[in-house]
Amino acid sequence: MNYEDLITLGIAFGLGLLVGLQREKSNHEMAGVRTFTLIAILGAISGFITRDFENPYLIPALAIAITGLMVTSNFMKIHTQDDPGIGKTTEIAVLLMYAIGVYLVLGDRIIGVLTGGTLVILLYIKETLHNFIHNLKDKDLSAIMTFAAISLVILPILPDKTYGALDVLNPHEIWLMVILIVGISILGYFVYKWLGKKVGMLANGILGGIISSTATTVSYARYSANNHSISSVSAFVILTAVTVSMIRVIVEISVVAPNELPFLILPLLVLFVFMILLSVGLYYTIYKNNQEEHMPEPENPAQFKSALIFGLLYGIIILAVAFAEQEFGDSGLYYVSVIGGLANKDAITLSLAHSVRSGLDTELGWRLIMTGVLSNLAFKIVLAALVGNKQLTKWIGITMTLSIMVGLLLIFFWPESWHLG
């Protein structure tokens, strides 16, 4: 007895049952729990027969037969019911369920299971999905279309090879980093859309860190300039956003240099935990004056111009890192990290992670990334001072300076043997 075939049949049964339950719960007369379960089993059995008896005609023949049955059923509904309510979703789901049953046998079982699970979810969230689409604004649709264009249209046509005198500029890899950053920003943007504008101080800071800690700093600094009573609240939101942006740094490293992550992550986590403690301390300091603030509406995070600028900046930093390493050694790389951190923390992090993956020493790599992060923290103090009021500048100055001091201690005194690798 082939137990693998029994498992495959059980998976087909389970997927058919799930889809059928959803369709029957939605009062669809075309096909319910029994029909979908039988369709999935029929697909699996036809796959077994095709595999064992090498009969390539059975699968398409049964697909045509199922289609004929659905056409006949709809024809009868049209002539016997005043309001037949004929759609396309259930019919397509029936054919897809049959194809999944076949593919579980003849293809990759994992892909079959994922496809079946996705089908169940899509059918289940119909109303939520329709409401989401109905509530989309023009800029929301623009963000989705821009992301689709940069990931599905531009990326495939870019050459996957290096160019330039230093042989480090790869258009395909550069654009992958653009997609990563834009994708993270869009995720935060739509989380904001889902939660709504009034989500409280902590959620404002978290969303701000996901979308853009710099934009959050500027927005809340402006708030404090116009209303001195919310200076401490604005400081907490900014600090939380900057703290959460450390997660972005770790995610970026894990995507670009996953094999080196255990050697890079620990000191960054220490700084992250310290900044969490700072955020908690600041929260309890201002707890008595806790106010619910509106999260400022983010701009479209997927503007094509912004994507191009980030890609250009990332390429320039990669080139600068390679040039500095070749001409000036480690000291030159630290200068690049400081300047890169001021310009764009994501770009310097990704470019240095790329260098680590290409052979840069991991001990030097995390220190350079930390330097870029600390440079960006100093930039936040400057922003708060330029845009906000004195009270906000004091809070941001104290918390960011403490974080910079801890980061410098980590850079100079972290033992080389302390890592997760």
Question: From CA 123, how far away is CA 131, in angstroms rounded?
Answer: 14
Least confident of 120-124, 138-142, 369-373, 396-400: 138-142
Handedness of CA 281, 283, 286, 287 (dihedral sign): negative
Length of the chain: 421
Measured CA to CA, the distance from residue 277 to residue 234 in angstroms comes to: 17
| pLDDT one-digit tens code per residue, 268-280 | 999 999 999 999 9
Beta-carbon count within 10 A of 303 CB: 16
> What SS3 state is found at 137?
coil
Categorize the per-residue pLDDT at 267 as very low, low, confident or very high, splitting at 50, 70 and 90: very high
Instruction: Match 């001021």 to its residue by tokens.
Output: 342
CA-CA-CA-CA torsion for 240, 243, 247, 248, nearest 10 degrees?
90
> Containing H/E element for 292?
none
Q: Lowest-confidence range among 40-49, 63-72, 361-370?
A: 63-72
Reply yes or no on whether the pLDDT at 135 is more than 90. Answer: no
How many CB atoms lie under 10 A from the CB of residue 273?
13
- Calpha distance 310→295 (Å, rounded): 25
Q: Indicate the pLDDT class of residue 83, thresholds 50, 70 and 90.
A: low
Sorted by sequence, the CB contacts under 8 Å of residue 282 that are 6+ apart come out as: 232, 235, 236, 239, 395, 399
Residue 294 bridge partners (DSSP): 198
pLDDT at 373: 95
What gap in Å lies between CA 130 and CA 86, rounded to an integer?
19
Residue type, 297: E
Instruction: Answer yes or no: is pLDDT of 288 > 60.
Output: no
Instruction: Report the C-alpha gap between 167 and 163 in whole angstroms.
Output: 5
H helix count then E strand count, the chain: 18, 0
Q: Give the pLDDT of residue 296.
A: 55
Determine which helix (DSSP H) or strand (DSSP E) holds 301, and give its type and residue range. Answer: none
Asked whether residue 15 carries a pLDDT value surpassing 80, the answer given is yes
Angstrom distance (rounded) from CA 313 to CA 110: 39
3-state DSSP assignment of residue 198:
strand
pLDDT digits (tens, 9 = 90+) for 155-177: 889 888 888 777 778 888 888 88
For the four alpha carbons of 189, 190, 193 and 198, in that order, the dihedral sign comes to negative
> Quick one: pLDDT at residue 73?
76
Give the range with max mean pLDDT: 73-77, 163-167, 334-338: 334-338
pLDDT of 18-38, one tens digit each?
Answer: 888 877 776 555 567 788 888
What pTM was computed for the model? 0.67
Question: Can you give the pLDDT at residue 409?
Answer: 96
Confidence check: pLDDT of 134 > 80:
no
**What does residue 47 show for φ and ψ, rounded to 5 degrees?**
-65, -40
Summarize pLDDT for 176-228 with one digit per residue, the tens: 888 877 777 777 677 666 665 545 567 777 877 777 788 788 878 877 777 77
> CA 205 to CA 90: how far, in whole Å?
43
- The predicted structure's pLDDT at residue 262: 93
**Exposed/middle/buried for residue 3 (C-beta within 10 Å: 0-12, 13-18, 19+):** exposed
Nearest-5° Cα angle at 75, 72 to 78: 155
Q: How many CB atoms lie within 10 A of CB 278?
A: 21
